[in-house]
């Protein structure tokens, strides 16, 4: 169909005159190009930033322009976790669980000062940055970031996706924390702790 990568390897050109039906490009580029332009976000909106995220998705800023209008509220069908808002300690196991439920390849945007660093909440209740729990690809500063800021962060993420190499295993390898460190929890324990109790059909009891 006449789809060809330009010599710079960064764009695809399409020539309707050609009817030979071939594509010539780097596999990396084609895959990344497809991924970058159809990222499905998983909006983990907790606080103020979620309102700005909604504004970004609504009519004026129109997130659909970047192939992101398909909000996936189920982590299992999502590519990007957008953590919008502060994350208190009570929410820490939940955001980690959501991250574990997302299939590879996955990325994470930390939206706003609170998600990135705890922000103005330097106290007993708030996690000082979600990067202490899950890996973060793009930090969007602001309290809350304006929609333009979030869009800039999304463009940066797309840039990052476009530059990934399939052969680079380090990118997608999930490495367990050092067993000697305090943060290490064995996988069996994680499964046991993280498994939700109530969504199973076995959670029944006899009616009185």
Residues near other proteins (CB under 8 A) are 44-48, 50-52, 54-55, 58-60, 71, 73, 75, 85-86, 88-94, 96, 98, 120-128, 132-133, 143-144, 146, 182-183, 185, 192-193, 195-199, 201-207
Closest separation between CB of residue 51 and other proteins, Å?
Answer: 6
Distance separating alpha carbons of residues 87 and 1, to the nearest angstrom? 48
CB of residue 195 to other proteins, shortest distance in Å: 8
CA 56 to chain centre: 16
**Structure-token pair, residue 149:** 């800021």
Nearer to other proteins, 25 or 128 (CB): 128
Work out how close the CB of 4 gets to other proteins at its nearest, in angstroms, rounded to a whole number.
Answer: 38
Mapping DSSP to helix (H, G, I), strand (E, B) and coil, where does residue 174 land?
coil
Neighbours of 18 (CB within 10 A): 12
Q: What single DSSP character describes residue 126?
A: B
Q: Which is nearer to other proteins, 131 or 164 (CB)?
A: 131
Smallest separation (angstroms) from other proteins to the CB of 152: 16
Which CB, 44 or 107, lies closer to other proteins? Answer: 44
CB < 8 Å & 24+ apart, contacts of 58-64: 60/147, 61/147, 61/148, 61/151, 63/151, 63/154
CB 136 within 8 A of CB 96: no
Compare residues 26 and 90 and give the one whose CB is closer to other proteins.
Answer: 90
């Amino acid at each position: 169909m006449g789809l060809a990568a330009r010599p710079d390897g960064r764009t695809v050109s399409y020539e309707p005159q050609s009817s030979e039906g071939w594509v010539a490009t780097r596999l990396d580029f084609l895959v990344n190009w497809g991924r970058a332009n159809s990222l499905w976000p998983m909006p983990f909106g907790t606080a103020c930033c979620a309102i700005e995220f909604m504004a970004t998705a609504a009519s004026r800023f129109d997130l659909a322009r970047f192939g992101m209008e398909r909000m996936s509220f189920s982590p299992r069908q999502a590519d990007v976790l957008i953590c919008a808002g502060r994350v208190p300690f009570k929410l820490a196991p939940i955001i980690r669980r959501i991250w574990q439920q997302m299939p590879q390849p996955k990325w994470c945007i930390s939206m706003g000062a609170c998600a990135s660093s705890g922000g103005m909440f330097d106290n007993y209740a708030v996690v000082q940055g979600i990067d202490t729990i899950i890996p973060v690809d793009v930090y969007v500063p602001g309290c809350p970031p304006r929609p333009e800021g979030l869009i800039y962060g999304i463009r940066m993420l797309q840039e990052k996706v476009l530059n990934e190499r399939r052969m680079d295993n380090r990118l997608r390898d999930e490495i367990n924390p050092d067993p000697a460190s305090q943060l290490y929890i064995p996988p069996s324990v994680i499964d046991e702790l993280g498994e939700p109790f109530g969504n199973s059909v076995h959670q029944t009891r006899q009616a009185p």
